[in-house]
């Protein structure tokens, strides 16, 4: 079986080399033939057929206890909102339950073929966004849990999410299996294609919005094709100015964030005047320091803006309770403002279940993972640590709040729509993994037959069963008063 060192192109590309010496990646020192042999040998540790199985062991960690452990480092008053959002459906539970699944995946035999993982690669964590060149592209768009690990973990989380979402949408067993196989098959065939390309060609590969449509529209019914075209057009309207109109208002001639507690709360409404000033001082320090992690030209651009207002914002499902601030940045020339989001980065759910990797801090981990995996990154993406008004140092990553970002409405997808979407996600995940992992070894492990996708489709249904049991356990915990949930937010 290939070791972790020889399975990564760029060796420490998916975890920082802090030795100070210049290392030559091991995978560059072995031939293509040897890399293929390594990939095939990995099947002895994790046969393709073994990916199909999931049986919770008698020592399996209680999923509710795992969720409770995450709450310890979060804003206490927001944690019930997280639980309430998770209880909307088995799929929303799944979105918030990355840690229980990481524990489950970590209990099985890994392939040993390491890549930079998304860590939370469910189908709602893919979407459209704008590149710096103002092209609309499709890619992975959430990296809070990114960490180096076995490539199959991301694919397993993706296919299981398709099965869970398909059940929520009322799809038949046959339809769900076809959808899961579509994702896994597209991953396998794309990885085999990437194995034949040069590293530069892999790095440049991407799916822009028009290519996504042209690639899959022939297999769409006319009504679905029209909805897809409308979605692409809508994505181009999801910019910062649209967000500005929704999130801000004028107060005494000055632009301020609206108040919509507990989802959006200006800093002045959270703290006393003295503490508010401390928070502003910390955030100004964060913005100034974070700018040093940007390219020089982007740092110059950021310098044209000044922080004038900030608010706490509740975001996502699994992220609820982590500290997330939205920042109003006014331009020096009085033209269009800039909206940034500073989001706290906490320990990855994968960190306890795979080999360690070194980063300066958790926000550095998130930014590094995003740069490795994403087709193009936000020009304002960077990180910094700062001591809060409570005296605790926390790591934040910063990005634009809205920049043509758009995610598909999973709950409104018809089976044929989700089948096409699954293929796009599978291709996209393969491209992301091919950038950081040994694509030649992974392609050899996956092979030419459909054994991989059949195994993953079996796993998806078994894990969807487990997800329903875990969802019921969370419901019971709320019903018994063990934990608190706040619905409707």
β-bridge mates for residue 386, sequence order: 394
DSSP string, 122-166: -GGGEEEEE-TTS-EEEEE---TT-EEEEHHHHHHHHHHHHHHHH
Counted residue by residue, the chain has a size of 489
Residue 404: predicted pLDDT: 62
pTM of the model: 0.91
Closest C-alpha to 483, from 185, 52, 50, 74: 74
Residue 5: predicted pLDDT: 32
Q: Where are the domains of the chain?
A: 22-116+147-215+410-479, 240-400
Contact assessment for residue 413 and residue 169, using Cβ atoms and an 8 Å cutoff: yes
Helix (H), strand (E), coil (C) string for 233-293: HHHCCCCHHHHHHHHEEEECCEEEECCECCCEEEHHHHCCHHHHHHHHHHHHHHHHHHHHH
State the residue for tokens 């896994």: 184
Residue 449: predicted pLDDT: 97
The CA distances from residue 410 to 108, 124, 316, in Å, are 29, 7, 15
Residue 113: predicted pLDDT: 98
SS3 55: coil
- CA atoms of 328 and 52, how far apart (whole Å): 48
Residue 108: predicted pLDDT: 87
| pLDDT per position as a tens digit, 96-105 | 999 999 999 9
- CA atoms of 340 and 307, how far apart (whole Å): 10
| pLDDT per position as a tens digit, 65-84 | 999 999 999 999 999 999 99
Helices (H) and strands (E) in the chain, counts: 18, 13
| 201 prior amide bond cis, ω within 30 | no
pLDDT tens sequence for the chain (489 residues): 233 333 334 333 344 433 333 344 544 578 999 999 999 999 998 999 999 999 998 899 999 999 999 999 999 999 999 999 999 999 999 999 999 999 999 998 899 999 999 999 999 999 888 777 777 888 999 999 999 999 999 999 999 999 999 999 999 999 999 999 999 999 999 999 999 999 999 999 988 877 776 666 666 667 766 776 776 666 666 566 677 888 999 998 899 999 999 999 999 999 988 889 999 999 999 999 999 999 999 999 999 999 999 999 999 999 999 999 999 999 988 788 999 999 999 999 999 999 999 999 999 999 999 999 998 889 999 999 999 878 899 999 999 987 566 778 898 889 988 998 999 999 999 999 999 999 999 999 999 999 999 999 999 999 999 999 999 999 999 999 999 999 999
- CA atoms of 163 and 205, how far apart (whole Å): 28
Structure tokens at 109: 């035999």
């Amino acid at each position: 079986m290939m070791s972790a060192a020889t399975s990564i192109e760029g060796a420490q590309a998916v975890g920082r080399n802090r030795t100070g010496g210049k290392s030559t990646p091991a995978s560059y020192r072995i031939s293509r033939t040897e890399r293929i042999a390594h990939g095939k040998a990995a099947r002895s540790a994790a046969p393709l057929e073994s990916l199909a199985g999931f049986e919770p062991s008698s020592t399996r960690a209680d999923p509710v206890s795992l969720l409770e452990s995450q709450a310890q480092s979060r804003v206490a008053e927001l944690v019930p909102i997280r639980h309430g959002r998770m209880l909307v459906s088995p799929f929303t539970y799944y979105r918030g339950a990355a840690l229980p699944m990481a524990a489950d995946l970590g209990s099985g035999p890994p392939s040993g073929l390491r890549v930079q993982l998304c860590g939370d690669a469910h189908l709602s964590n893919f979407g459209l966004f704008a590149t710096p060149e103002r092209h609309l592209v499709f890619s992975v768009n959430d990296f809070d849990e990114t960490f180096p690990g076995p490539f199959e973990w991301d694919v397993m989380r993706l296919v299981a999410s398709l099965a869970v979402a398909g059940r929520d949408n009322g799809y038949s067993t046959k339809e769900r299996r076809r959808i899961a196989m579509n994702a896994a098959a597209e991953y396998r065939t794309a990885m085999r294609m990437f194995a034949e390309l040069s590293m530069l060609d892999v790095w440049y590969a991407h799916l822009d919005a028009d290519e996504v449509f042209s690639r899959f529209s022939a297999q769409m019914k006319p009504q679905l094709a029209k909805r897809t075209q409308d979605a692409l057009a809508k994505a181009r309207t999801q910019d910062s100015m649209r967000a500005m109109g929704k999130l801000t208002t004028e107060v005494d001639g000055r632009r301020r964030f609206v108040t919509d507690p507990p989802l959006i709360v200006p800093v002045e409404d959270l703290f006393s005047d003295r503490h508010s000033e401390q928070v502003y001082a910390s955030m100004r320090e964060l913005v100034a320091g974070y700018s040093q992690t940007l390219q020089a030209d982007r740092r110059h651009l950021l310098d044209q803006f000044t922080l004038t207002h900030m608010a706490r914002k509740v975001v996502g499902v699994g992220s609820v309770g982590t500290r997330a601030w939205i920042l109003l940045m006014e331009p020096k020339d009085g033209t269009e403002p800039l909206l940034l989001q500073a989001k706290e980065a906490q320990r990855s759910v994968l960190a306890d279940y795979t080999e360690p990797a070194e980063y300066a801090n958790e926000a550095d981990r998130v930014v590094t993972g995003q740069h490795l995996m994403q087709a193009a990154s936000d020009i304002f993406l960077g990180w910094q640590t700062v001591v809060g008004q409570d005296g605790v140092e926390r790591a934040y990553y910063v990005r634009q709040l809205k920049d043509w970002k758009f995610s598909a409405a999973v709950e409104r997808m018809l089976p044929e729509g989700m089948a096409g979407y699954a293929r796009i996600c599978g291709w996209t995940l393969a491209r992301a993994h091919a950038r950081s992992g040994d694509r030649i070894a992974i392609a050899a492990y996956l092979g030419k037959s459909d054994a991989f996708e059949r195994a993953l489709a079996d796993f998806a249904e078994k894990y969807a069963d487990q997800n329903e049991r875990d969802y019921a356990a969370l419901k019971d915990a709320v019903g018994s008063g063990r934990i608190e949930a706040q619905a409707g937010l």
